[in-house]
Amino acid sequence: MREAVESFGWQAARAARFSPEPKDIDHYLDVLAWLSWLGRQNDGARNVRIITARAFGTPTWKLAAKFGKHDETIRRWENAAIDDIVRQFHEEIVKIGMK
């Protein structure tokens, strides 16, 4: 016996798959270099994990639980890490924004 939703051809919606263009690959390589640099700084491995997790949509509260810290601490760490990247790579970031 089938479920009622199967009878009407209902299927869950699928997200459109991302197809990167050459400029997307260039940007990816730039960002990867920045994260590599960040990973070599004090608390860099932690900060790379936080930035990467946030980029993939992980909520701050989940990271706070994982690190045993308050949500606000995670936000401060994330903001400080991004500030470090911007200070170090400001000219490159501006060039990417101009493309």
Considering the domain boundaries, does residue 80 fall inside one? yes
Structural domains in the chain (count): 1
Considering the domain boundaries, does residue 44 fall inside one? yes
Considering the domain boundaries, does residue 52 fall inside one? yes
Domain containing 74 equals 19-98
pTM (2 d.p.): 0.76
Helices (H), 1-99: 4-7, 22-39, 44-55, 60-67, 71-98
Considering the domain boundaries, does residue 10 fall inside one? no
Considering the domain boundaries, does residue 53 fall inside one? yes
Smallest CA-to-CA distance from 38 within 73, 83, 90 is with 83
Considering the domain boundaries, does residue 24 fall inside one? yes
Residue 8 has pLDDT above 80, yes or no: no
Considering the domain boundaries, does residue 91 fall inside one? yes
Residue 7 has pLDDT above 90, yes or no: no
Mean pLDDT of 78-88: 97
Going 17 to 50 to 45 to 89, the CA torsion angle's sign is positive
Considering the domain boundaries, does residue 12 fall inside one? no
pLDDT of residue 36: 97
Residue the block writes with tokens 């390589």: 29
Average per-residue pLDDT in the chain? 89
